[in-house]
Each structure stands twice: as structure tokens, then as C-alpha cells.
Amino acid sequence: MKGFFLVLNITLSINLAFACAPHSPNDVFIARLQSVQQLSSSNHKQLTFQHPHFIFQSLLTKIFSSKPKQWHSDFSIKTIKSNNLVIGLAYPPDKTTPQNYQISSLALLHCDKNIITIDHPISPFSAWNRRTQRCNNQSIPMKLLDGFLEHDQTYYLKKLHQKYPTCGALFSAFPKL
């Protein structure tokens, strides 16, 4: 009987570790929201984006990664409207349909006076909390790009600014509809 509980404990620990497994910078995308369609199930939505781009992927990753054809979420998107510029975390959860991407969270992306800022995520998501050194406690708000192991959101905002040094550069890469 002790063996059963040992196996159960190990299995639950592994599941918890994977539930808190951080996203990769490869999962970060920027796009303009085009539309949100409610699917038949209660919380599931299908999103359409204009100009989606995974901004931190290497060239090699871009070549070998599937291109998203469908984007899905299971959280409310009331605060983000059509044509808003967003930044999000998304990944293909099923290897058999790698073109279907699940969105973990989204945030509005702003640029004013050549300074890029990111709102708080509209939905809590499981990620590693660098401040508490444990899985994110959803009562503690986390910034969208703070859930990575190596660097925090400040680092990634600097990388974004290097890629898009002006608001004009950002907006021309992701033009309004």
C-alpha cells in the first residue's frame, strides 16, 4: 500500500510541476485582434488576428514551427476590442494538430512617445513566479512576460524596443485594419 501512495505522490508532483512549467519566449506573439467568436462550449472562443508574429523566436524555430491557423482561448476577452494591439502567450497543445494554438493569456500592448508598455494580463495564467520562487499564486498579479525562468518583463521590453525603436516602427509592423 505504501508503494501505491509513493507512486501517487510522485505522479501528482510531476503533474504540478508541468502545470507550472513556464512558457518559453518562443510563445510570445504580437498581433492586432480582428475578431472573437464564441464557440458552442461555454468558455471557449476562437480568435482571429491580423499580422500575428512570434517576436522572440529564432529563425530556426520559425522555420520548424507550425504556423497558427486557429487560435483558441477559454477566458473572457471583454476588455480587448477589435483592432487593439495585443501581446500574448500561445502554444500548440496537441502535436497531432500543431496549427491549432491555445492562448494562455493576452494583454494590451501600448506605445506612446516611443515607449512600449504592456498592460496586466486579462487572464491569470500558470507560470513560475520569480519573486516568490514558486508556482504563480493567482492572488499575486504577474506581468505577462515575468513567468520565464531566465529574464523578466523589463528585459523583454528592452528587446522589443531594440526591434521596434519607435512607435511608428511598431505600428507599421502591426498596422490597423
Average pLDDT over residues 160-176: 97
CB 46 within 8 A of CB 70: yes
Give the DSSP per-residue string, 11-23: HHHHHHHHHTPPP
**Helix, strand, coil percent content, the chain, rounded in steps of 5:** 25, 30, 45
Q: Is residue 121 part of a domain?
A: yes
Judge whether residue 36 has pLDDT over 90: yes
- Note the pLDDT tens digit of each residue in 102-132: 999 999 999 999 999 999 999 877 777 777 7
pLDDT of amino acid 34: 96
Contact at 8 Å (CB) between 72 and 123? no
> How many independent structural domains does the chain possess?
1
Residue 122 CA: distances (Å) to CA of 41, 111, 118, 168: 20, 18, 11, 26
pLDDT at 13: 36
Domain containing 103 equals 26-171
Would you say residue 155 lies in a domain? yes
Q: What is the pLDDT averaged over residues 138-160?
A: 84
Selection from 120, 132, 125, 46 nearest residue 89 by Cα: 125
124: which 3 cell numbers? 491569470
- Residue 10 included in any domain: no
For residue 155, what pLDDT band results from cuts at 50, 70 and 90? very high
Cell 491557423 locates to 69
Q: How many Å apart are CA 83 and CA 86, to the nearest integer?
A: 9
pLDDT tier at 166, thresholds 50, 70, 90: very high
Residue 3 within any structural domain of the chain:
no
Indicate the pTM of the whole model.
Answer: 0.83
111: left (phi over 0), alpha (psi -120 to 50) or beta: beta
Angle at 172 between CA 119 and CA 112, to 5 degrees: 40
Indicate whether 62 belongs to any domain: yes
**Structural domain contains residue 59:** yes
